Structure 1
Amino acid sequence: MWKLLTEKKVLSWALYDWANSAFATVMLAGLFPIFFKEYLSADQSATTSTFHLGVANSAAGIVIVLLAPILGAIADAGQARKRLLLSFASLGMIMTVSLYGVAEGAWLTAAILYALGVIGFMGSLIFYDALIVKVARPEQYDLVSGYGYSLGYLGGGLLFSLDVLMTLYPAWFGFADAGEAVRFSFITVAIWWAVFTLPLVFNVPADEGLRLPMFKAVRGGFRQLRTTFQEIRKLRVVSLFLLAYWLYIDGVDTVVRMAVDYGMSIGFDSNDLIIALLITQFVGFPAALLFGMLGQKIGPKAGILIALGVYFFVTTWAYFMEEVYEFYMLAVVIGLVQGGVQSLSRSLYARIIPPEKSGEFFGFYNMMGKFAAVIGPVMMGTVAMLTDSSRLGILSITLLFALGGGLLLLVNVKEGERIAGQL
């Protein structure tokens, strides 16, 4: 196992998870939601700022929904997975750095820059996920996918820890106040993301075959997109899995992006919430790798179903939560399963699709995942606004875990593997 995990191309691929998780922890889950609510939206109610942040996340999700399958097909046609990964990652880095200069109260400007950063982050993952077929064999997907998420939790957690220290003790680092420290943390995210992307650039194998000019790749990509969509419609196992994934990953993404906002809405101190996020990151590091091993033993489908049961329990518990220690306990539980459900979903999907068409098929995979991100945050924000209850907003997410898990039970993984091998 360790020989595989230390192989240059596998480690370099997994380090991109370490790289981009800086954005996931600091921007999606951690400091930016607090900064948005306390600094950029200080003159607004808690439910209004929740709604605005949800809309920003959902707007980015809509763009990815529209682009993901097209970009995946173009990447396969033009042999451009790595080039497009770097293009989207660069967009995310530039937008993240730009947030440093946003003035107090300028929530709309910040929301736009943040949404563009999210587009860069999510867009790069289309091609990162697809590159798993370049670094591992099918029987290795569960372990390698879990390895990536494991490094992501560790890397994201380390940078997040540094940024939290800067925020809690700004004078130690030469900052005037916590606000200046938080804004500087956005710069650290971009630097971290850029530096740890380099191993993938140099060590992950390039796509083989003829590299078409971009206009021909676009034309070929649209033609291939039509073919792939027709294939997915015929592949019942793939279609059913994508529908299940769409529903349950909605709940996972919403918990990631809105947990801190929810905690603040029910009266918890932002510093306590930051500590809870750190707990999730460092619990998630070994747990994601262990889930990869679990997937090899009992199968990825069974592992995902276990994780979804835990998520259903967690979101129900969150509705009744009153004390901050409960938030800490929930952080531990989420850390145990969050990376597992993400990594095993990726590896299960890689098993049931033709590897030579991974870009376009993962384009649809990411489309369904990001379409979920369109619905989840807005649903939570809307329920909170209409009922004037953030608790009911979080409780609404349980429906997504229940429906997604029910559909996943119907997915026949062995049949999907057999059909994928024949295409």
Structure 2
Amino acid sequence: MGPGSGTAPRTSQRGSAVKAEPQPILERLGLHRPELRAWAMYEWATTGMWAVIVATIFPIYFYDVAAASMERADAERIFYLATTVGITLIAVVAPLLGAITDRTAIKKPMLAAFAALGVAGCGLLFLVQEGDWAIGLFFFVLVNLGANGSVVFYDALLPHIARPGEEDRVSTGAFAIGYLGAGILLAFCLLMIQRPDLFGLPEGTLAARLSFALVAVWWAVFTIPLLRKVPEPPPEVIADESEKVAGSSVRFALNRIRTTFSELRSYQHAFIFLLAYLVYGDGIGTIIRVATIYGASLGIDRGHMIGAIVMVQFIGVPFSFLFGMLAGRIGTKRSLFVGLGVYLGVTVLGFYMTTALHFWMLAVLVGMVQGGTQALSRSLFASMIPAYKSGELFGFYGVMDKFAGMFGPLVMTLVITMTGSSRLSLLSVAGFFIIGGLILSRVDVDEGRRVAREAQARARPLSGTVP
């Protein structure tokens, strides 16, 4: 059985015969304990926000309403700038904040604080009307700060709630739950916008603005299970850090980050994986960010593109679960290669796309692998780091995740400038999957997990109250 194959099946013995018992369905899906289901509900809470606020409804609302008086090129420029600001701010502070939460038991409070910031941003978008592009972008930055910040601490909980061998199923199960929630919320919001009369609403912008408020309520309500059911991980340190604990949390965090950089040789396979993820994750992020832009450049109707995005959410539900099961059979790393192979095929087939039907077909392929590759990337990294450093190291993971999709569009822009072909620009994204896959092939998963287990074995609980 390959690396990351999950827990071994339970057995029962009668005489000399040993018979494997099938796992219960919830265990196969990674949702078999209350804290796992509660943790997965935060994916339900936030994936809907990404679908409505970041991917579909708010960008359209911004261009057509809030920035209606601006040239489209100028509106796109400042929208992308605002997105970059929100991503960069979190990327800069994520490792530091993560290391602080490794020293003090505040992963859940930090998650709640950033979630509250994002929920407030979503709710305030309700106030944005025609011409309010500046205040709209400010609220949008708050949403990005809240979402990107909270997910650092959310991901850092995974090594603490998933037992050895469960990481893949728990991570993919949460992604599947997230896709289901996103599909339901996005479909409802689109129906409310397209047919406001069904809800007793007038024509105009009210339905779209109500969808922003609904996302805020959705995000807030479905954060509660995690806060109630998921235990706060107790802080742990190794012997060498005991003397440093007495200082301030910030000083401790900075010292730990410096120590981690000096220990890169020890955690080399986890960091090689981070490099691979930065590259192939950028390809995935680029596909997500430019899909509708590329479709529009080929004349694909907006209705078809939005419909395909909704479909991706629902396709992602069963296939995220299936990727967790696939990892249990062939290993996490091999399963990731399957996903990257499909993405490589999408970029090649996208070069030849001409019709709305082609767009729908490519969306099906993306929906089959998008959740699985992202979930298994998270679980593979979680299995190669010591749990007592999860906040800090998932802070670094968050940096890679936040910048995913930032370099691909730049490469596409360069190719368009040089060739004038949007088709060739999409084909250039294939390089991210090829190079990322080659780097991933250098990761020794078993060795990375062995190092993580040995490091965790040296950790001990941090007693007393830490200022």
Could you tell me the TM-score, scaled by structure 2's length?
Answer: 0.84
Instruction: Indicate yes or no: 2:389 matched with 1:357.
Output: yes
Instruction: Indicate yes or no: 2:32 matched with 1:6.
Output: yes
Q: Which segment is superposed worse, 39-48 or 238-247? A: 39-48
Q: From 28, 34, 38, give the equivalent of 2:64.
A: 38
Q: From 71, 81, 92, give the equivalent of 1:55.
A: 81
Displacement of 1:291 in angstroms is: 0.3
Which amino acid is the alignment partner of residue 229 of structure 2? N
What does residue 94 of structure 2 align with? Answer: 68
Change (3 A) 1:209 1:312: closer
Change (3 A) 1:341 1:107: same
Change (3 A) 1:57 1:251: farther
Task: Give the whole-Å Cα distance in 2 for the aligned partners of 1:328 and 1:70.
Answer: 42
Cα deviation digits, residues 262-283 of structure 1 (max 9, x gap): 3334333322211101110000
CA contact (8 A) 2:296 2:302 kept: yes
What does residue 185 of structure 1 align with? Answer: 211
State how 1:212-251 maps to structure 2 within 5 Å.
216-251=248-283
Q: From 226, 235, 255, give the equivalent of 1:200.
A: 226
CA contact (8 A) 1:21 1:153 kept: yes
Which amino acid is the alignment partner of residue 173 of structure 2? Y
Task: Give the whole-Å Cα distance in 2 for the aligned partners of 1:330 and 1:215.
Answer: 54
Count of aligned pairs: 423
State how 1:119-268 maps to structure 2 within 5 Å.
119-177=145-203, 179-209=205-235, 216-268=248-300
Structure 2 SS opposite 1:268:
coil
Instruction: Indicate yes or no: 2:420 matched with 1:394.
Output: no
Change (3 A) 1:46 1:314: farther
Task: Give the whole-Å Cα distance in 2 for the aligned partners of 1:255 and 1:307.
Answer: 13
Change (3 A) 1:377 1:339: same
Task: Give the whole-Å Cα distance in 2 for the aligned partners of 1:48 and 1:385.
Answer: 18
Change (3 A) 1:198 1:117: same
CA contact (8 A) 1:47 1:385 kept: no
CA contact (8 A) 2:266 2:451 kept: no
Select the structure that is richer in helix. 1
Task: Give the whole-Å Cα distance in 2 for the aligned partners of 1:72 and 1:244.
Answer: 22
Q: Which segment is superposed worse, 382-391 or 35-44? A: 382-391
Displacement of 1:254 in angstroms is: 2.4
Displacement of 1:205 in angstroms is: 0.7
Runs of 5+ unmatched residues, structure 2: 1-23, 237-244, 456-467
Cα deviation digits, residues 144-166 of structure 1 (max 9, x gap): 00000000000111111100101
Displacement of 1:387 in angstroms is: 6.5
Q: From 295, 305, 321, give the equivalent of 2:327.
A: 295
Displacement of 1:367 in angstroms is: 1.1
C-alpha RMSD over aligned residues: 2.5
CA contact (8 A) 2:284 2:404 kept: no
Structure 2 SS opposite 1:139:
coil
Change (3 A) 1:53 1:398: farther
Q: Which segment is superposed worse, 201-210 or 141-150? A: 201-210
State how 1:44-123 maps to structure 2 within 5 Å.
48-123=74-149
Task: Give the whole-Å Cα distance in 2 for the aligned partners of 1:25 and 1:214.
Answer: 44
What does residue 337 of structure 1 align with? Answer: 369
Displacement of 1:45 in angstroms is: 5.8
Which has the larger Rg?
2
Which amino acid is the alignment partner of residue 25 of structure 2? W
Q: Which segment is superposed worse, 139-148 or 318-327? A: 318-327
Task: Give the whole-Å Cα distance in 1 for the aligned partners of 2:293 and 2:249.
Answer: 42
What does residue 447 of structure 2 align with? Answer: 415
Task: Give the whole-Å Cα distance in 2 for the aligned partners of 1:214 and 1:8.
Answer: 35
Q: From 257, 266, 270, give the equivalent of 2:302.
A: 270
Task: Give the whole-Å Cα distance in 1 for the aligned partners of 2:187 and 2:224.
Answer: 23
Displacement of 1:251 in angstroms is: 1.7
CA contact (8 A) 1:46 1:265 kept: no
Task: Give the whole-Å Cα distance in 1 for the aligned partners of 2:354 and 2:75.
Answer: 22
Task: Give the whole-Å Cα distance in 1 for the aligned partners of 2:413 and 2:148.
Answer: 21
CA contact (8 A) 2:235 2:388 kept: no
CA contact (8 A) 2:176 2:316 kept: yes
Cα deviation digits, residues 133-190 of structure 1 (max 9, x gap): 2221120000000000000000111111100101110121233225321221111111
Structure 1 SS opposite 2:130:
coil
Cα deviation digits, residues 360-382 of structure 1 (max 9, x gap): 11111111221334434455466
Cα deviation digits, residues 315-341 of structure 1 (max 9, x gap): 232233221111111111111000011
Determine what percentage of the aligned residue pairs are the same residue. Answer: 41
CA contact (8 A) 1:48 1:385 kept: no
Displacement of 1:352 in angstroms is: 0.8
Change (3 A) 1:110 1:255: farther
Task: Give the whole-Å Cα distance in 2 for the aligned partners of 1:179 and 1:364.
Answer: 40
